[in-house]
Structure 1
Amino acid sequence: MKRITITLDEELLDAIDARVASHGYQGRSEALRDLLRTGLLDSRQHAPQETTTCLATLSWVFDHTTRDLAQHLSRLLHRHHSLVHSTLEVLLDHEHSMSVAVLKGESQSVHALGERIISERGVRHGRLFMVPIDADVEEHRHGDQLEPHTHWRVRDK
């Protein structure tokens, strides 16, 4: 085994220590290995295996005091503007905000953007929720509507 060094804030370290005690681990290393295995397995299970179209929500909490993070995240979203349908930012306190982005596009691209944002330094929590869809390409009108439109059809699992 290899030894690594990581830096954790007190709150996260307290949570790990509580898990060590509640689950009967021999120490922090064993608990962290177990959490890492679970997290890595979970991320592989949620990664798209095929090229499909999806609708997704990406939410993350980030720290405004992390140098240039807000500007960096904004530039990242602008570089992927074809995937971004809508965004919302909620101010939580003097240092933190929660952002939510509704994304639509090719599943692997949406997943890659989500993982990129969630993994940025200063992003405290993040989650990507993807729903496979088929675009209904038949344009139609309802009643007296002037503009034709299409529908996004949710796919069965």
Structure 2
Amino acid sequence: MPIVSVSMPEELVECLDQFAEENGYSGRSEVIRDASRELLDEFDDQSLEGRQLMATVTVMFDYQTGSVEREMMEIRHEFDGVVESNFHTHVGDNFCLELFVLEGSLEAISTVVGTIRATKGVQTVSYSVVPMDDDLLVE
């Protein structure tokens, strides 16, 4: 098995080690392999292919860590055809919450979520995806 070197903050390494110990993993490498598989499989849901979807994406970041807020605005404009709505608010002393409402194909939504996740300084990204089939919409 190839060895891959990854840089991460010491605090995150400590959390990985603690998580591995508490959950019966053999070590941090196994945790990272498991998490990597989960991330790669995340949008590999065949039942969503070819359907019109809606997604909510919640992003948290420390507003003092650089240009994340500006980059969220750039993502909003870059994916204007998919982003239906965007909301920004302050949470706690140092954090911002960015909420995106997306509408589009699985590929389009996963591209936006991937772009958000890849933004340096983003701390958490969570989302949900819902099919927008006609029979699900009540008049």
Give the alignment's TM-score, normalised by structure 2: 0.80
Query: 1:29–1:111: structure 2 CA closer, same or farther, 3 Å change rule?
Result: closer
Instruction: Give the C-alpha shift of residue 75 in structure 1.
Output: 1.1
Q: Do 2:71 and 2:119's aligned partners in 1 also have CA atoms closer than 8 Å?
A: no
| Moved >4 Å (runs of 4+) | 46-49
Q: Do 2:89 and 2:98's aligned partners in 1 also have CA atoms closer than 8 Å?
A: yes
Amino acid at match of 1:45: D
Instruction: Give the C-alpha shift of residue 22 in structure 1.
Output: 1.7
**Distance in 1 (alpha carbons) for counterparts of 2:48 and 2:84:** 23
Match of 2:136 in 1: 154
Match of 2:67 in 1: 68
Amino acid at match of 1:89: H
Amino acid at match of 1:19: F
1:104-124 per-position Cα deviation (integer Å, ceiling 9, x unaligned): 223321221122112211111
Query: 1:46–1:15: structure 2 CA closer, same or farther, 3 Å change rule?
Result: farther
Q: Identify, as 1 or 2, the structure richer in helix.
A: 2
Match of 2:21 in 1: 21
Q: RMSD in angstroms over aligned alpha carbons?
A: 2.4
Q: Which runs of 5+ in 1 are unaligned?
A: 136-152
Query: 1:28–1:111: structure 2 CA closer, same or farther, 3 Å change rule?
Result: closer
Larger Rg: 1
Match of 1:91 in 2: 90
**Distance in 2 (alpha carbons) for counterparts of 1:133 and 1:115:** 21
Q: Do 2:20 and 2:27's aligned partners in 1 also have CA atoms closer than 8 Å?
A: yes
> Which gives a bigger RCO, structure 1 or 2 (Cα 8 Å, sep 6+)?
2
**Distance in 2 (alpha carbons) for counterparts of 1:48 and 1:25:** 31
1:97-144 per-position Cα deviation (integer Å, ceiling 9, x unaligned): 111111122332122112211221111111221111146xxxxxxxxx
- 1:6-155 aligned at under 5 Å gives the runs 6-41=6-41, 43-46=42-45, 50-134=49-133, 154=136
What SS does the corresponding residue of 1:87 show, helix, strand or coil? strand
User: How many residues were matched structurally?
Assistant: 137
**Distance in 1 (alpha carbons) for counterparts of 2:125 and 2:11:** 17
Give the alignment's TM-score, normalised by structure 1: 0.72
Percent of aligned pairs sharing the same letter: 24
Q: Which runs of 5+ in 2 are unaligned?
A: none
Query: 1:131–1:9: structure 2 CA closer, same or farther, 3 Å change rule?
Result: same
Structure 1 range deviating more: 85-94 or 113-122: 85-94
